[in-house]
Amino acid sequence: MEGKKRPQTMAQKILAAHCGKEYVEEGQIINAEVDLVLGNDITMPLAIKEFKKTGAGKVFDRDRVVIVPDHFTPNKDIKSALQCKVIREFAHEYGISNYFEVGRMGIEHALLPELGLVGPGDLIIGADSHTCTYGALGSASTGVGSTDVAVAMATGKLWFMVPKTVRFIYEGSLGPWISGKDLILYTIGLIGVDGALYKSMEFTGPVIKRLSMDSRLTMSNMAIEAGGKFGIIETDDITLEYLKPRYKGEYRIFHSDIDAPFEKEYRIDCSSLKLQVAMPHLPSNTAEAGQLKDIKIDQVVIGSCTNGRIEDLKMAAGILKGRKVHSRVRVIVIPATQGIYLDALKQGLLEIFIEAGCAVSTPTCGPCLGGHMGVLAEGERSVSTTNRNFVGRMGHPKSEVYLSGPAVAAASAIAGRIAVPGEVI
């Protein structure tokens, strides 16, 4: 092997680069330097408590810690207000430059890419499971716990196990209304909620090469729903165009070697792919939306870190324009960040939503985790563009969540039952 480098996956290369090595082995445990550490109003108070116990005195880099109060904000009750106060005061006391207050914030996983805080080749951790979202920008990015964040804030380092990689190659072309959400729901349905446990998922193929950045972010976002550690997409021209106006960091562009040790490869022909829905109570419980026409609904949520971006809102507005929400349905539209909110306003989307009879909210996680702004009662059913449909996820343990992309959500809002756009436009 003298002189010839051992082939590696993108995940291996990024991790190796962060622990000063040329090569890391799958399964190996490494202590690596992280580029960015993220926490929110639920996980950060606990991380702060643990951080103080380390005796570090200061954070490793005040520009590399990001704190976003997004889950229960604007503060839903006194206890949430107290949690938010803890993180706000910490941010102030420790000089955290990336703290985003209500009015300037957004759901963390929509906000960080938008502001250019994450980019190719970065190693990012966040005390939030959907931190895997930034894999769409060619980074290795993953969710961890509060103690991990505490240690990383104190030392700038964290332990990682180098994951194996499973590759998903999407071929063919996408039919009308099909978006990244349908691709990822279909994939999770195919491999199951632990189908990529501990693994790096790498999304590639001609369909991905043509896929918009917003749809890519949706796909990487839900890697965790298959148990994945990373949800990586190679950096290409679409990524670079997205990054150009925003990302100030160093571009470290990695590609998996052709002969890298992929554990498994799936080839998915997308030409016949239909709009997808994940039925209660697992994201892997997928079906074609067109086959669920008898399912009546009470609520529709369009938003979250999965589908609260401008492309999603445009798609939903395209269907709702000039139409009315069904009389027994309430629709809650939540642009994921202030930036997206403003964009939607300028593009006239908010007007379309309001005229159709939707409630439009300031950015928040809100109903996605059954926090506030659209909690379900016993026996109620929601179609939602969010990412989890576990028991009790959006409210009462006997309520139900059907996960979909924005097209099915908007069509269902009009029909009062699960529907596809062709039925209402």
Partner 1 sequence: MIIKEKVIKYGENVDTDVIIPARYLNTSAEDELASHCFEDLDENFREKVKGHRVIVAGHNFGCGSSREHAPLSIKASGIKAIIAKSFARIFFRNAINIGLPVLVSPEAADFIKDGDELEIDLDKGKISDITGGRVFDIPPLPDFIQKIIDSGGYIKFTSMNIKKT
Say which residues have a Cβ less than 8 Å from residue 355's Cβ, sequence separation at least 6.
none
Residue where the block lists tokens 């910490």: 90
**Residue of the chain from 38, 305, 317, 415 that contacts ligand SF4 (CB under 6 A):** 305
Residue 62 interface partner, choices partner 1, ligand SF4, none, CB cut-off 5-8 Å depending on type: none
The site for partner 1 (CB under 8 A) is made up of 29, 31, 42-43, 45-46, 49-50, 53-56, 71-72, 76-77, 79-80, 83, 126-129, 131, 143-148, 150-151, 154-155, 159, 161, 193-194, 197-198, 227, 229, 282, 369-371, 375, 388, 390-393, 397
Nearer to partner 1, 205 or 367 (CB): 367
Rounded-to-integer distance, Cα 22 and Cα 61, Å:
25
Q: Least distance to partner 1 from the beta carbon of 90, Å?
A: 13
**The Cα angle at residue 185 between residues 291 and 332, in degrees rounded to 5:** 80
* Residue of 13, 18, 64, 71 interacting with ligand SF4 (CB under 6 A): 71
What's the maximum distance between 2 C-alpha atoms anywhere in the chain? 71
Are 156 and 56 contacting, i.e. CB atoms less than 8 angstroms apart? no
Among 355, 15, 320, 305, residue whose Cα is nearest residue 180: 305
Q: In angstroms, give the least distance from the CB of 399 to ligand SF4.
A: 16
CB of 107 to ligand SF4, least distance (A): 5
Distance, in Å, from the CA atom of 248 to the CA atom of 125, rounded to the nearest integer, reads 19
How far is residue 74 from each of residues 135, 313, 330, measured CA to CA in Å?
A: 28, 22, 21
**Per CB under 6 A, 330 contacts ligand SF4:** no
CA distances for 299 relative to 33, 78, 219, 361, angstroms: 44, 27, 24, 15
252/393 with CB nearer partner 1: 393
Residues numbered 341-370 forming contacts with ligand SF4, rule: CB under 6 A: 365, 368-369
Residue 9's identity, in one-letter code, is: T
User: In the bound complex, what is the minimum distance in angstroms from residue 125's beta carbon to partner 1?
Assistant: 10
User: Are 300 and 329 in contact, with CB atoms under 8 Å apart?
Assistant: yes
Determine if 107 is a binding residue for ligand SF4 (CB under 6 A).
Answer: yes
Residue 24, contacted partner among partner 1, ligand SF4, none, CB below 5-8 A by kind = none
Query: Rule CB under 6 A: which residues touch ligand SF4?
Result: 71, 107-109, 128, 130, 304-305, 365, 368-369, 386-387
